[in-house]
Structures are given as structure tokens and as C-alpha cells.
A and B are shown apart, each in its own frame.
Chain A
Amino acid sequence: MTGAIAYNEAASLRRALERVLPAVAKPGRYTGGEWNMARKDWAAAEVRLAFLFPDVYEVAMSNLALRILYGLVNDDPRFLCERVFAPWPDMAEKMRAAGIPLYGLESLRPLRAFDVLGVTLQYELSYTNILYMLDLAGIPRRSARRRQSGGAENWPWLLAGGAGAFNPEPLAPFFDIFLLGDGEELLPAVLAQIGAAKKNGVSRAETLRRLTGRAGVYVPEFYTPQTDGQGVFQGVRVEAPAPAQVQKAVVTDFSAAYFPVRCIVPYNEAVHDRIMLEVMRGCTRGCRFCQAGMTGRPLRERRPELLRRQAQEAVRATGYEEISLVSLSTGDYSGVGGLLRDLTADMAAWSVNVSLPSLRLDSFDVTLAAEVQKVRKSGLTFAPEAGSQRLRDVINKGVRDEDLIQTVTAAFAAGWHNIKLYYMIGLPTEREEDLDGIAAQAEAVLAAGRRAGVRARVAVSVSNFVPKPHTPFQWAAQDDPAVLLAKQSYLREKLRRTAVKLQCHDAEMSAAEAVLSRADRRGADLLEALADRGAMFDSWSEWFRPELWRAAFAATGLKAADFTGARSLTAPLPWDHLSAGVCGAFLRAEAEKAGRAERTADCRLICGRCGACGGAA
């Protein structure tokens, strides 16, 4: 880092920041100091973790994983955890010009001073920001490069976890360890091992050998991808003592699991600026496109009386005015009605609202919704996901047309006017009549409003199907961006003369997401080529630059179609050596049932033998 100033002291970094912050947007993103921020003794901590969220402050601070792991690690006297977020491009430019390295918000120390950098992989289009952040920190991107420049021990450990860890192959060359599954027990265990290695002078290589084999620990350097002459993935060669397949970590007693009641209260308004009470983990619905629904299994609920106590404690500790009951499908929580009524009653004296974020049509009860939104009738969101019954059966989304119309009619009668409908296009087996079904359904909702004497406002949001690892659709092809665009214009034309508002996701961004979602290790070359060309904030449409992706493909000789095309049900997949709990036989059977438009019941009713509960499939 020639020309850069060596910041040994937080004070000098603070002075440099003083000159930079007045000229950037939302300077509060970069100062720390919020209510409930951890202020730990740097010298006393055995292991210092920087938690990297590869997106901007307001997005990062809305993340539940960050809240949980930050609280959990800082509550442990052995450890310390600081936050590091992606600086917005205006700030990054100023940091480079002033020689300010990326730093932790709590102590203003540069990233290199930490023992461990832990990155959360929430969505694929944030991967370029990981390299962007490593560059800003002056840390070599590849672990091999770090070993060459001064030895691995000279650099912080690089860890990553979260949804993306279930196919981390495009990131494998950059990281030492990936953590699969629930982090509440796994992360402290790994940090303790790293702490012991640091204290006793155990080498990085030996520590990796000791860590591998523990459920949830994936050390990519023990797995070498094998390819044919064309570079096509043929499986991995596993090096001892690593296991042939890494199992994910699962917190079995969810009520006993750590929950952060003293979460940080940002000054800048976060995207989700409220208490997030996690009522359950996992989902039993079995939607075939949904990665979180598959990898989050098995379903675990928190006891209602515990949730009430956590809500009280969280309000006292944060002063937040809203509590959201979060999970993949909160309407499915056993006794959701009773919990809502109890919480609403508990919170009335505090002037705190209770809300439900993700409402599903088939578990939606208008009286329940009226309970939580006594006065505010802001809007209701439903996700039929597909326009025809046949296609909804293909994706295993149990919603019928009449359910939707009945529910919205009840909602109109109860005083709601705004309905938002979520759909996906490009799903496997999709035909023109499925697109017609989207338009017809939206118009039927408008008509139901007219019948109820309500001037309903209907907004349709259309996203593009992205095949995800560890789902029954992991073998499916993604439509080319051109096809997706054609489908979008077809829909736009269909809805042109109606009052329905249509919003479509960017097709090229979805293509990029699909590439990274199912990439093998060659994806790392692509990411590096992107970072070299200045790619960053790819999940933000205003920063996503398709020309950089085209240039990166050209430079690496890779083709998007290598990753977005259909895969054979029998060919090895780059993530086969990683288990998300749901077994391959179940996924294959589900893929075949999808082809026959055959439904699978909610696994609370009939066990689908996916294997996630620990039983054999």
C-alpha cells in the first residue's frame, strides 16, 4: 500500500475521517457510536472478529444474522466483534484518496488488525462487494496470495457463512473456512479453536485440519475440483482428514438459542428499522424454487411465553416503536393468533406496534391481520408466484385462484385498498397461458374491489426465476435475459389498459445472480475479473453494469450459459459435497414430481422424507 498512511491509532483515523465525512452522503454510516454498540476492551479480547456485511449500512443493519452473531460474540468475554460494511462509492473514493483503509465501526481499527474477518453471504450479487471491501482493506483477495505474502499467519482468517455458504464455490479461493447452517453454536466454537491456535502458536494449516470434520465446517482447500478437458466439473477430490460430505450445523433447541434483545439502534434509518422477533426457523411448505425453505429445515419454533419476554426486554433495551414477527412464513407459526393478541396487548402501554412481514395467502386470516393493523391499513402483500394452477402445482405453491379472491374480498371489506402481488417468470415448464394467468389474476383482484365498492390499487411485482442449489429446481435452466425481457413486455402489453401497476426486475441482474448461484470454482476468476474492472454494489440497479460482466466473461473465457443452462439429474454438481440436510434423492424426486405438476404436502401433515429432521430418507 504505497502512499497510504499507516494508521496505528484510532485517533489518527478519526482525524482523517473528520476531513472526509463532511463531503459524503449520510456520514452517519461511517462513524459508529449508535445506542447499544458494543464497547469492548481490545487488549483483553482473545479473538477479534470483524463481521463484514458486503452492502451499505442501512441494508446491513437490517440483517438478523448480524444482530444475532454480533450480540452473541460480544456477550462472550473471550471475544470481540466489530461491524464493517461496504462504503458507498462516494466514500470509497475519498478513502482511497486519503489513504484510509477499511476499518471497524466500533474501534476505528483497520481490518488487518483483526484476527478473523467473517463475511455473511446473503445474496449472490453482493459477492463483488466482498472483493471491493478486501481491496479497500489492503488485504490480498486469494488465500494462496495471502500465504505467499508473509504467510497465512500474517493475515486475518477469512470466514464466510449464511445462505450463500451452501454453494460457496465461486468464493472458495478467497476464504479459509465456510460455515454451513446455524451460526449460534458453530461460530463461537470455531472462534475458540482459532483463539487456542493463536495462544499456543498452532499453525494455520494444522488448525484447519483440527477444525475440519466438525458439523458445519467446510475447508475448501481440502476439496479439489476435478474437471474434464473442457473445464466441466466432474466432482471433487477430498483430502484427509476432511469428510466426503460436510454436514450443516443445526441448532436443535431453538428456544434455548441466543436471541439479541439489546440490538444496535441506528441513527440512520435502516431498511428494517425495528425489533425482529424470530418466531421460528425453517419452513414446511416445500416450495420447489425456495432455497431458504429447503436449507432452513427442519422447522423449529420458539415458545410463545419466551417470545413475549424477549419482546419486553427488546423494547426496554432499544426503545423501538415496532416489533416484527419474522420467519420464512410467520402465518404458519402454531398459535400465531394467540401470540399476536398477547403481544399487541403487552405492547399497548408502550405505544409499540406489532407487525407481520411475510403474509402467505394460504395461511392468511383477515381477522388476524386486522388484529395487528388496527388503524393503519397500509397494504397487503401476497405471493401467488405463478399465474396458473398448473404452474403453481409445478412449484408446489398451494394457492388457488378462489383463495386469493376470497381473501382480498375479505380484506377490502375490512378496509384495505392496496394489494401487492408477487410473481415469478421464467419458471420451469412456463407457457404463454401462465403469463396470461398473471394478468387475469391481477384483473380479478381489481374486479373484486369493484364488487366490494372499493377503489382498489393493485401492484404486480414480477421477479425472474433463478435456479438455486439444494432445491428441486437446482438442475433447471434459467431463461436467457432476452426471453425474460420478451415475457416482461408481453405482460406489460397485457396490462397496459388496466389500472394494474407492473414492476419487473432487471433481467440481466437475474442472469448474473444465476451465474454466481450455481457457479463452480471458475466463478472466482469471473469475480476477480469483475473486481478488477471496478464492479461493486451489483445488487443495486443504479450500480449494476452489465458491460463489466460481459467484459469479465470475455476476459475469463467463461460463458454465462455454462452456469445458467439445464443440468443433468445424474451429473455431479459443484455443491454435492456440502449437505444442507435435505438429501439428493428427495430433491430428485421433487424435481420429477414438478415435471408431472404433482403437489407435495406440507411436511407437517405428511413427512416428505427429505432427511432434514435427522431421519433417513
Chain B
Amino acid sequence: MKIRLLYNKLAEAKYVAHLDLTRFLERALRRAGVPVARSQGFNPHARISFGPPLAVGVEGLGEYADVEIQSDGRLKPAAAAEQAVRALRAQMPPNISILDYCLLPPGAPALTAIIDLACYLAWIPLREPRAEAELERALADWLAQAEIMVVRTKEGGARPVSKNIRPFVRRLALRGAAATGADGPGFGLELEIGLSNAGSAKAAEVVRSLCAFAALPWEQAGLSLVRTGLFAGGEKRLSPLLTPCPR
């Protein structure tokens, strides 16, 4: 029996790397006494799988994980799932919460196979304010490029690779520009980024490229990124919980 969990990852939990989160969830399930199914073989591992990894330093408002649970048949699947989630919730820290869940039908495709869109919200601090019109123009000009190459360096001395990120950026929209305020001058940016077998673009990469392209006086240290949601079914039609998205 498989359960799909919807959870968030806020505040300092944004610094928890993806692999560390995997280990964390496995331990939380053990504390909760949830009998997770395990693979056979020499090194049995818990059958838990995640959606697209969240970069370190990015908060997530709606992230997903699938957990396969051994059922002893005493409870109906719906009741067993409810019990497991209730026990798990008691084992989560304040900044990682289970928001919702669903029971997956047998043979449901994996999260990574169905999630095709990630939405982000960025706050980009500027040393000097910029007019909204100027920022709008910068977005339009950046999007108008046919090809946007970024260089990705890998840890461990592997050769850096170049990637064209333009095809993955579905939408960029200004979400307010401030001249001053609690966080100083800056602007908000909505990003919609596609994910496919061909890869994806990282939100931070898009912001860096945009700011460099438009020669914006931005403060990289103050950049804040939130992944607001993940979607499936093309055109934001389906939530990964297999429910239609509200239009």
C-alpha cells in the first residue's frame, strides 16, 4: 500500500539537503512505528521516493514523497493510511509538516514521472530601486532570447557543463517592486519552470542569469527563494495528489 504525502519545508529546514531529508523521513517513520516496506537483497532499503529535489536554501510550500507501507490486513487501507499519517505527524518538527496525503491506486506512476512543472517565488534585493516598467522590460527581453546558456559546475572536480535553460522557463512575472521597505529595495518574481526528461532549470540559475543580463545591482546574499508548488498533467491541470487543480 502506497501513501503520497504533501509536506512543507520552512525556515531553517530549508538548509536540510535532499539526501538528509530522505534519512530524516525514514527515521521519523520508524519513531512513528509505521511499518515501511523494504527492498529485498543484501542492503535492504526503505521504499520511500521523493519528487524533484529542493535545492539547499529554498523553502518548499508543497513537496511530495511516496511511502510504501506493509499492511497486516487488520485495517482497511484508508484507515491504515490515516493511522500512519497521524502517527507520523507527531514525529515531525515544527518546520516540516504533513499538509495532506492520499492513498495511491496500484500501479500509480512515480512522482518524478508525473511532475512536470515547478513554481517559485523569489525576492531579489537591489542596492538601488528600479522602476517597475524597467524591470518588466528586462523580463521580456530576457525571455525573448532564443537560447540562454548557463554553466554548471559540479562538486568533486567534474568538468563543468553548459546548458540552455531557456526551453524550461515557461513564465516569468513581476510580483511587485519596492523602492524601500522592511527588506530594502528589490522586486518579487514568479517563476514557472518545466521539468522533463531533458532536464530543468534551477530557480537560482534563472535569477542569476536575469540579473546579469539586465545588469541589475542585486544582492545575491539577500536572495530568498520559495518553491510554491509542484504540478502534473501539463498546464497545471493536476496536483500530484491526483486531484484536479482549482482553476
Residues of B within 8 A of A269 (CB): 20, 23
| B135 adjacent to chain A (CB < 8 Å) | no
Residues of B within 8 A of A33 (CB): 11-13, 93, 95
A382 to chain B, nearest CB (A): 24
Q: Is the CB of B30 within 8 A of A268?
A: no
- Residues of B1-19 at the interface with A, using a CB-CB cut-off of 8 Å, are 11-13, 15-17
Of the listed stretches A173-181, A316-324, A439-447, A523-531, name the one at the interface; the rest are far from the partner chain.
A316-324
Task: Compute how far the CA of A396 lies from the CA of B216 in the bound complex, rounded to whole angstroms.
Answer: 70
| B57 adjacent to chain A (CB < 8 Å) | yes
- Residues of B150-174 at the interface with A, using a CB-CB cut-off of 8 Å, are none
| A4 adjacent to chain B (CB < 8 Å) | no
| A123 adjacent to chain B (CB < 8 Å) | no
A320 to chain B, nearest CB (A): 6
| A355 adjacent to chain B (CB < 8 Å) | no
A355 to chain B, nearest CB (A): 14
- Residues of A15-29 at the interface with B, using a CB-CB cut-off of 8 Å, are 19-23, 27-28
Which residue of A has the minimal Cβ distance to B125? A19
CB contact under 8 A between A319 and B42, given known A20-B221, A269-B23: no
Residues of A within 8 A of B29 (CB): 319
Task: Compute how far the CA of A375 lies from the CA of B220 in the bound complex, rounded to whole angstroms.
Answer: 48
Residues of A within 8 A of B244 (CB): none
| B213 adjacent to chain A (CB < 8 Å) | no
Interface of B is mostly: helix
| B26 adjacent to chain A (CB < 8 Å) | yes
Task: Compute how far the CA of A22 lies from the CA of B220 in the bound complex, rounded to whole angstroms.
Answer: 9
Which residue of B has the minimal Cβ distance to A29? B15
Q: Is the CB of B222 within 8 A of A19?
A: yes
A380 to chain B, nearest CB (A): 17
Which residue of A has the minimal Cβ distance to B12? A31
Residues of B in contact, count (CB < 8 Å): 31
- Residues of A362-386 at the interface with B, using a CB-CB cut-off of 8 Å, are 375-376
CB contact under 8 A between A351 and B30, given known A27-B56, A269-B20: yes
B13 to chain A, nearest CB (A): 7
Q: Is the CB of A375 within 8 A of B42?
A: yes
- Residues of B80-114 at the interface with A, using a CB-CB cut-off of 8 Å, are 91, 93, 95
Residues of B within 8 A of A22 (CB): 57, 221, 223
| A162 adjacent to chain B (CB < 8 Å) | no
Chain A 244-271: CB-based contact to B (< 8 A → 1; otherwise 0)? 0000000000000000000001011100
| B28 adjacent to chain A (CB < 8 Å) | yes
Chain A 328-365: CB-based contact to B (< 8 A → 1; otherwise 0)? 00000000000000000000001110000000000000
A374 to chain B, nearest CB (A): 10
B45 to chain A, nearest CB (A): 10
Residues of B within 8 A of A50 (CB): none
| A32 adjacent to chain B (CB < 8 Å) | yes
Q: Is the CB of A32 within 8 A of B12?
A: yes
A17 to chain B, nearest CB (A): 9
Residues of A within 8 A of B38 (CB): 351
Task: Compute how far the CA of A265 lies from the CA of B29 in the bound complex, rounded to whole angstroms.
Answer: 14
| A582 adjacent to chain B (CB < 8 Å) | no
Residues of A within 8 A of B211 (CB): none
Q: Is the CB of B12 within 8 A of A319?
A: no
Task: Compute how far the CA of A20 lies from the CA of B43 in the bound complex, rounded to whole angstroms.
Answer: 39
| A315 adjacent to chain B (CB < 8 Å) | yes
A318 to chain B, nearest CB (A): 7
Contact of B21 among A21, A267, A350 (CB under 8 A): A267
| B44 adjacent to chain A (CB < 8 Å) | yes
B118 to chain A, nearest CB (A): 19
Residues of A within 8 A of B222 (CB): 19
B17 to chain A, nearest CB (A): 7
Residues of A within 8 A of B27 (CB): 35, 265, 318-321
Which residue of A has the minimal Cβ distance to B31? A319
CB contact under 8 A between A28 and B43, given known A19-B221, A320-B27: no
Task: Compute how far the CA of A389 lies from the CA of B29 in the bound complex, rounded to whole angstroms.
Answer: 51
Task: Compute how far the CA of A385 lies from the CA of B128 in the bound complex, rounded to whole angstroms.
Answer: 65
Contact of A28 among B17, B23, B30, B91 (CB under 8 A): B17
Task: Compute how far the CA of A413 lies from the CA of B111 in the bound complex, rounded to whole angstroms.
Answer: 44
Contact of A319 among B13, B20, B21, B28 (CB under 8 A): B28
Contact of A376 among B30, B43, B220 (CB under 8 A): B43
Name the residue in B15, B28, B223 with the highest tally of chain A Cβ atoms < 10 Å from its Cβ.
B15
Contact of B15 among A21, A35, A317 (CB under 8 A): A21
Which residue of B has the minimal Cβ distance to A349? B35
Task: Compute how far the CA of A484 lies from the CA of B24 in the bound complex, rounded to whole angstroms.
Answer: 44
Task: Compute how far the CA of A376 lies from the CA of B41 in the bound complex, rounded to whole angstroms.
Answer: 10
Q: Is the CB of B31 within 8 A of A21?
A: no
Q: Is the CB of A319 within 8 A of B16?
A: no
Task: Compute how far the CA of A351 lies from the CA of B42 in the bound complex, rounded to whole angstroms.
Answer: 13
Which residue of B has the minimal Cβ distance to A94? B221
CB contact under 8 A between A321 and B26, given known A28-B15, A33-B93, A35-B93: yes
Q: Is the CB of A267 within 8 A of B56?
A: no
Q: Is the CB of A27 within 8 A of B15?
A: yes
Task: Compute how far the CA of A233 lies from the CA of B24 in the bound complex, rounded to whole angstroms.
Answer: 53
A557 to chain B, nearest CB (A): 43
Task: Compute how far the CA of A375 lies from the CA of B42 in the bound complex, rounded to whole angstroms.
Answer: 6
Residues of B within 8 A of A35 (CB): 24, 27-28, 93
Q: Is the CB of B221 within 8 A of A28?
A: no
Task: Compute how far the CA of A33 lies from the CA of B44 in the bound complex, rounded to whole angstroms.
Answer: 29
Residues of B within 8 A of A350 (CB): 30
Q: Is the CB of A268 within 8 A of B43?
A: no
Residues of A within 8 A of B16 (CB): 28, 267
Task: Compute how far the CA of A144 lies from the CA of B120 in the bound complex, rounded to whole angstroms.
Answer: 55
Residues of B within 8 A of A267 (CB): 15-17, 20-21, 23-24
Residues of A within 8 A of B44 (CB): 351, 375
Task: Compute how far the CA of A35 lies from the CA of B27 in the bound complex, rounded to whole angstroms.
Answer: 10
A349 to chain B, nearest CB (A): 9
Chain A 24-68: CB-based contact to B (< 8 A → 1; otherwise 0)? 000110011111000000000000000000000000000000000
Name the residue in A33, A34, A269 with the highest tally of chain B Cβ atoms < 10 Å from its Cβ.
A33
CB contact under 8 A between A319 and B26, given known A22-B223, A376-B42: yes
Contact of B221 among A23, A34, A315 (CB under 8 A): A23
B122 to chain A, nearest CB (A): 13
Task: Compute how far the CA of A316 lies from the CA of B56 in the bound complex, rounded to whole angstroms.
Answer: 29
Chain B 56-84: CB-based contact to A (< 8 A → 1; otherwise 0)? 11000000000000000000000000000
CB contact under 8 A between A318 and B31, given known A33-B93, A267-B16: yes
Name the residue in B12, B17, B28 with the highest tally of chain A Cβ atoms < 10 Å from its Cβ.
B12
Chain A 296-327: CB-based contact to B (< 8 A → 1; otherwise 0)? 00000000000000000001111111000000
Name the residue in A315, A319, A321 with the highest tally of chain B Cβ atoms < 10 Å from its Cβ.
A319
A503 to chain B, nearest CB (A): 21
Residues of B within 8 A of A32 (CB): 12
Task: Compute how far the CA of A351 lies from the CA of B37 in the bound complex, rounded to whole angstroms.
Answer: 10
13 residue pairs bridging A and B, Cβ less than 8 Å apart: A23-B220, A28-B17, A32-B12, A33-B11, A35-B28, A265-B27, A267-B16, A267-B24, A268-B17, A316-B31, A319-B30, A321-B27, A351-B44
Task: Taking A27-B56, A27-B57, A267-B16 as given, write out 13 further A-B residue pairs in contact, using a Cβ cutoff of 8 Å, ordered by the A residue number.
Answer: A22-B221, A31-B15, A32-B12, A34-B93, A35-B28, A267-B21, A268-B17, A315-B30, A318-B27, A319-B29, A321-B26, A351-B30, A375-B43
Interface residues of B, Cβ cutoff 8 Å to A: 11-13, 15-17, 20-21, 23-24, 26-31, 36, 38, 42-44, 46, 56-57, 91, 93, 95, 220-223
Interface residues of A, Cβ cutoff 8 Å to B: 19-23, 27-28, 31-35, 265, 267-269, 315-321, 350-352, 375-376
Leading 5 A-B pairs by shortest Cβ distance: A319-B27, A31-B12, A319-B30, A319-B31, A27-B15
